[in-house]
Amino acid sequence: MSQAVADFGLDCKTKVAGPGDREDAIRAPVEALIRSAGQHLNLRAVPYDEVRDMSRAVRTDHAVAVNGAITGYIDVQSPGLSLDPGRLTGHTRTRWERQRDLPNVIHTNGTEWQLWRYRDHVAGPVHMTGGPLDRAGRSLVAPTEFEDLVTSFLRWRPAPITSVLTLVRAVAPLARLLRGEVLDQLGADRAKVAEGIPDQEQTFRARVQDWRELFFPDVSDEVFAGGYAQAVTFALLVARGEKLELGDPLHELGARLGSADQSLMRGALQLLTADVAADFRVSLDLLVRVVGSVDWDRIRAGRRDLYLRLYEHFLDVYDPVLPRQCSSRDTPLEVVDHAVPEQG
């Protein structure tokens, strides 16, 4: 691992010393370091670059797949920038506040590394030494805690979910994150319409319009985004309860939901064609993986009121203010009544 850190230091020195944004300069070296760490652990770690669109507050810098499964995310800040959440400002603060909801995310400025899970700071800060990134080069050194942090990050997998409270704590933050992504996308689409770009060229706006008018007429974008995020989340839980394969494309999975009274949730998934789903990768990839770890048979345990209890707990974590301040359209009755198919 020491060789990988030295190579990282040299890459950063070369790139940071050049023209351009300092944050962008260290993103490729971070990718290379994570790949090398994976090789060191006999894991196939592949960081995927996220699209950089500063109007979208949720974007992380890298999604990391380990042996083919999305495992976590890395948020890269500019070298020298404090990672203290209390000292972040503006867009950087907004982006990080949302990303702290992720179940496995590294936050780094190149020399300081932290590991967060569901808003809990679980490892770090770990500091690399040897000088700032524009001068350290191969003199950059990481303590043994750095390998521990990266190992924990790369080996993460969702634990089996066997209780209502565990389920809520796992999926509500990801639903909240999806709500933010949907709201950002609606804002981006509105901005493009204001510039004269036709509605039909706005992928999500065009696909969602009829569904929105049917289930969420005359509500604000914020209320709609919340309702849509809940519908997608519970549609995935329904699919898990029906023992459907969550690896299918989401729009195809929606078509396979069986009950006619699941039209809201079925439609929510059917809107997520490949081009639309790509806009919400940050939350959807891990939401699918986390829902895949739900053991419905153990959670049900014969309780007839389980689904209402689940939804009430979900709202408490998803947004404690929501039930008191928002229209009932943001908590669609179908989600409450048919969140999971009844079992005899």
Q: Distance between CA atoms of 165 and 253, rounded to whole angstroms?
A: 26
Average pLDDT score over residue span 16-27:
83
Structure tokens at 315: 């709202």
| pLDDT of amino acid 341 | 43
131 vs 124, 128, 134, 139, 143, CA distance in Å? 19, 8, 8, 8, 14
- The more confident residue out of 123 and 187 is 123
DSSP letters, 40-103, are HTT--EEEEEPP--TT-TT--SEEEEETTEEEEEEEE--TT----GGG--HHHHHHHHHHTTSS
Average pLDDT over residues 192-219: 77
- Domain-wise residue ranges, the chain: 2-154, 164-338
- Band of the pLDDT at 104, cuts 50, 70, 90? very high
Give the SS3 label for residue 307: helix
Confidence of residue 142 (pLDDT cuts 50, 70, 90): very high
Q: What is the pLDDT of residue 324?
A: 41
- Average pLDDT over the chain reads 81
pLDDT of residue 300: 77
* Domain 2-154, CATH number (from 1.10.10, 3.90.25, 1.10.150, 3.90.1570): 3.90.1570
Predicted confidence at residue 256, as pLDDT, reads: 86
Task: Please tell me the distance from the alpha carbon of residue 314 to that of residue 298, in angstroms, as a whole number.
Answer: 18
Per-residue pLDDT band for 129 (boundaries 50, 70, 90) equals very high
Q: Is the dihedral of CA 65, 319, 299, 116 positive or negative?
A: positive
If one compares 137 and 101, the residue with the highest pLDDT of the two is: 137
**How many Cα atoms occupy the beta-carbon half-sphere of 340 within 13 Å?**
23
